[in-house]
Amino acid sequence: MKKLLMVIPLVFLLCFTFSCQDKAAMAEVEEQNKALVMQYSEAWDKGDVEALKEIFSPDYVLHASGQDLSLEETIEFLKQQQVMFPDRTNSIEDTILEGDKVVLRYTLRGTHTGDIEGFPATGKKVESEAIEIVRVENGKIVECWDASDDLGFYQQLGFELKPKEEEK
């Protein structure tokens, strides 16, 4: 009986020790994921396509504005942003870590000075907030969900948005 009474505290001690190690390991992974996402944000701001290709998984998907964009389509989107808003910046306001996900709240700022098909330059300054959830797997970004105020963004540019007419 005495041996059993001695074993029980040892079992609890071992469980506690391994639990703490798991938490420390998870915290380390989360910090690595955060560092990767900060590299991504910096590369995006600079328009560094080669760095993004290293950071993103080849099967990367961006879920934004009701569309799913592949890695190639995301890079095309970045190039369009660079033309339309050559002075654009993304300021990270908040970062939240949870397992394999990093959540960013950021503010996009820029001046619409570049023409792109369907969007003539307006010369107007814009500021738009967004939230992005980034999922990391095996040291690469595999998926992003971007929720931004598209309506407010286009209104700042002076575009008049109308609902689609129903087909008859």
Q: Is residue 42 in a domain?
A: yes
Nearest residue to 28 via CA among 139, 144, 143, 142: 139
**Containing domain of residue 79, as a range?**
2-156
pLDDT digit string, tens, across residues 97-110: 998 999 999 999 99
How many whole angstroms separate alpha carbon 147 and alpha carbon 64? 7
Q: Is residue 16 in a domain?
A: yes
* The predicted structure's pLDDT at residue 6: 58
Q: Is residue 17 in a domain?
A: yes
* The predicted structure's pLDDT at residue 38: 94
Q: Is residue 166 in a domain?
A: no
Q: Is residue 83 in a domain?
A: yes
Residue with tokens 């105020």: 149
Instruction: Report how many domains make up the chain.
Output: 1
Written as one letter, the residue type at 40 is: Y
Q: How far is CA 14 from CA 4, 8, 11, in A?
A: 15, 10, 5
Within the chain, residue ranges assigned H as helices are: 2-46, 49-55, 71-84, 150-156
Q: Is residue 168 in a domain?
A: no
* The predicted structure's pLDDT at residue 5: 55
Mean pLDDT within 9-30: 63
Q: How far is CA 108 from CA 15, 80, 117, 126, 150, in A?
A: 46, 15, 21, 8, 12
Q: Which residue has the higher pLDDT, 23 or 140?
A: 140
Residue 12 has pLDDT above 70, yes or no: no
Residue 117 has pLDDT above 90, yes or no: no
How many whole angstroms separate alpha carbon 104 and alpha carbon 92? 7
Q: Is 150 exposed, middle or buried (0-12, 13-18, 19+ CB in 10 A)?
A: middle
pLDDT digit string, tens, across residues 123-165: 999 999 999 999 999 999 999 999 999 889 889 988 887 787 8
What CATH number is given to the structural domain containing 54?
Answer: 3.10.450.50
Q: Is residue 34 in a domain?
A: yes
What mean pLDDT is reported for the chain?
A: 86
Q: Say what the alpha-carbon torsion angle 137, 79, 153, 118 is, to the nearest 10 degrees.
A: -130
Mean pLDDT within 29-49: 92
Q: 93 falls in which pLDDT band (50, 70, 90)?
A: very high
How many whole angstroms separate alpha carbon 127 and alpha carbon 91? 11
Percent of the chain whose pLDDT exceeds 90: 64
Q: Which residue has the higher pLDDT, 9 or 87?
A: 87
Q: Is residue 56 in a domain?
A: yes
